[in-house]
Structures are given as C-alpha cells and as structure tokens.
Structure 1
C-alpha cells in the first residue's frame, strides 16, 4: 500500500527506507539501504532525483545506484566512512553522482526542495545501549532529515532516541522509528508524536528483523487516542 498525503506519495520499504514523490515530479529516497534485508530487492527504477543517507548503517552504494538516476544528487551525513563499515563499499565521493556531505544541524535548498538536518543519536544514559552500556548510535554519527516537497514538510528523525528538541519541530508528516533496541520504541515515538502534533504520523523502522519487532497496530491506537492522525504503510 502507498500512502498519499496532500501532494506527496510515500512508500516505505523496510528499516528507514522511504520514497517520497511530489505531484510536481521530484522523487526523494531516504536511507535506501542496506540491501541485506531484501530492501528494494525487486525495485530498480532509477528514478531518484535526491538520495538522503543518515548514517553508516544505512549507507549502501548498491542501493543508491538501484534508485538514483544518472543526474541524481546524493546527500550523506558527514560521518559516513566506508572504511568503518563491515562490508566492502565505496566511499560516497567515489559514487558516480554529485555528492554532498552535511552536518546534523543544517538548513539548505536544493532546487525546489527545502531541507534541514537534525542530530540523531542514543542517549548514553538511556535504554538504547549495548551490553557494554555504550549507545548504539553515539552523538555525531548520524542525522535526521526534513524535506519540504510540494508544501509538505516530511521528517525522518533517523536512528535516534526521542530527543527534547524534536518536540519543537514544525512538521506536517512525521515518520518515526518504532522498533526500539537501536531507536525509540513505539511508546516513546507515540509520546513524541503527541508532543509534535503533526498532520500525519507514518511509523517506520520496525519488523525488518527480530530486534526491531513492534506492535504497529498498538502504536496506531496509542497515537490516535491522543488525537493525532496516523496511518500504516503495509
């Protein structure tokens, strides 16, 4: 099922992999990889104008090349380093596209699109840490992306906890992770959705593998009871 919100069509492929298309024709992919879990396995449209990658875990040149057309722009977080990834991949600058690196607190314009980035990380004193007590996503190693397309401001916060500054964001479409373990869970995401009060919530980053299994139906009920519109992409 594809979700239609205003002038924007949204598809979710698993993990944080999203496709946004406006009525004016702009096509944006967010975190199209990795392909390890079958993400985009049967999809090779090469129709992406803009590819956004939040951090190392979601950086996969094969996935980018599957969705990007030859004149695409690829925007990646400044921390992404192919030598630190546990699979053989090229550095972003080696890809056959215009590549831009961004920090985690920037605003910029690309053609008709307004974009911004936000910090994305796990609080080292919070619940989303490994067996050694270290955050799965330390501060400075990733970002979230917001993009305004045909009047709709959509926001994917990345692999992150629910952070205090999120509550002050003015966005129309909120696409939070709800799988827990490595990110906020469905309860934390529901609290954040209620605080932001967007026009629509579309949960992602759940059920792709066991560690991020979540009860999406319960999330929908929780958010809807708070008076916030919510939908599932099945």
Structure 2
C-alpha cells in the first residue's frame, strides 16, 4: 500500500526500508535491506536519487544496488564498517556510487533536498540492552535522518530510544520504530509522537522478525487518542 501525504508518496517495505517520492520526482530510500529478511527479494527499482543508511545493522551493498540509480548519492553514518557486519565484505567506499559519510547532528542542502541527522542510540540505563547490560546500539554508532522533499519534512529517527531532543524537532511526517527490544517500543513511540505533534505518523521497524513483533493497531489507537493523525502502511 502506498501512502500519499502532501507532496510525498511513502512506501514501507519492512524493517526500516522506506521509499519517499516527491511530486517533482526526487526519490529517497531509508535503510534498504538487509536482504536476509527477504522483503526486497523481488524489488529492483534502481530509481533512488538519495539512499540513507543509519547504522551498520542496516548496511547491505546488494540492497543498495537494488534501489539506487547509477548517479545516486549514498549518505551513511561515519561509523559504518563493513568488517563488523555479518555477511558483508564490501566497504561503502567501494560501492559504484558517490558515498558521503555523516555524523549525527548535521544539516545539509543536497540539490532540491534538505537533510539533517540526529543521534540514534540506546540509553545504557534504559530497557533496550542485552543480557550484559550493553546497549544494542551504543552512542556514536548511528543516526536518524530528516529529509525535506518538496516542502514536506519526513523524519526516520533510526534505531534509537526516544530522547528529549527529539521533542524539539519540527517535522511533518514521523516514521518511528515501534517494535521495541532494539528501539523504542510502541508506547514510547506514541508518547514521542504526541510531543513532536507531526501532521502524520507512519510507524516502521516492527513485525519483520519475532523480536520486534508488536500490536500496531494498539499503537494506532494510542496515537489517534492523542489527536495525532496516524496511518499504517502494510
């Protein structure tokens, strides 16, 4: 199902893979793949102008090739190291595209698109840690992305907990992770959506595998009761 919102059409494929297309034709993908989950098996659009990769767990060279145009720009967090990704040998700089590494908390103008990044991590004192108390996503190892397409700002916060700095953002379309375990869960995401107060919420990063299964309908009810427009894609 394609969601149409203002000047942008939105498709969620699974996990954090989202396709955004503006009225003027610019196409952006967030975190394509990883292919091991199978949701891009039959997809080879190769139409993406801008590909955003938030952290190493979502870095997949084959998936990037499936979605990116020959002249695409690949924007990835500075920490991504292919040597630390299971089953991946190809460094980002070896991809046949222009590759730009970014830190968290930066902003750019990329032709007709405005882009900003935010920190994305799990609080070591919070609930999203492993059995040893280690955050699944340590600070400094990933980012979120906001991109403005034809006047509409979409924000994918990355694999992260909800933090006070998120509440200060001015975004139109909010794409929160709601699966829990490795990120904020549906209740935390609903509270954050209430604080941000975007024009539309479309949740992602849930139900792709067992550890992030959640009740997306309960999330919709929770957000809608707070007076925030919300929709599911899928």
TM-score, structure 2 length as denominator?
A: 0.99
> Over residues 88-112 of structure 1, what are the superposed CA-to-partner deviations in whole Å (9 max), with x where a residue is unaligned?
3311000000000000010001110
Residues 60 and 88, structure 2, Cα contact 8 Å, conserved in 1: no
CA distance in 2, matches of 1:194, 1:68: 34
Q: In the aligned structure 1, how far is the partner of 2:47 from the partner of 2:109?
A: 20
1:59 aligns to what?
Answer: 59
Residues 9 and 20 of structure 1 are in contact (CA less than 8 Å); yes or no, is this contact kept in structure 2? yes
Structure 2 CA distance, aligned partners of 1:114 and 1:4? 20
Aligned match of 2:192: 192
Shift of 1:33: 1.4
What is the aligned partner in structure 2 of residue 98 from structure 1?
A: 98
Measure how far apart 1:41 and its partner are. Answer: 1.3
Q: Is the 8 A contact 1:46 1:68 kept in 2?
A: yes
User: Size of the alignment, in residue pairs?
Assistant: 234
Residue 85 (structure 1) shift: 1.0
Secondary structure of the residue aligned to 1:64 is helix
Kindly state the Cα deviation for residue 39 of structure 1 after the two structures are TM-superposed.
2.4
Q: Secondary structure at the match of 2:181?
A: coil
What is the deviation of 1:3? 0.5
Give the gaps of 5 or more residues in structure 1: none
Q: Look up the SS of the partner of 2:39 in the other structure.
A: coil
Secondary structure of the corresponding residue to residue 165 of structure 1: helix
2-structure distance, mates of 1:69, 1:140: 29
Structure 2 equivalent of residue 77 of structure 1 = 77
Runs (5+) with no aligned partner, structure 2: none
Q: Counterpart of 1:9 in 2: which secondary structure?
A: strand
Residue 229 of structure 1 corresponds to: 229
Alignment partners' CA distance in 2, 1:192 and 1:73: 30
TM-score, structure 1 as length reference:
0.99
| Distance in 2 separating the partners of 1:101 and 1:39 | 26
Mapped partners of 1:202, 1:214: distance in 2: 14
Query: Any idea what SS the aligned residue of 1:230 has?
Result: coil
Q: Which runs of 4+ in 1 moved over 2 A?
A: none
Cα RMSD of the aligned pairs, angstroms, is 0.5
Q: Is the 8 A contact 1:32 1:39 kept in 2?
A: no
Counterpart contact for 1:17–1:39, Cα < 8 Å: no
- Aligned match of 1:35: 35
Question: What residue number does 2:174 align with?
Answer: 174
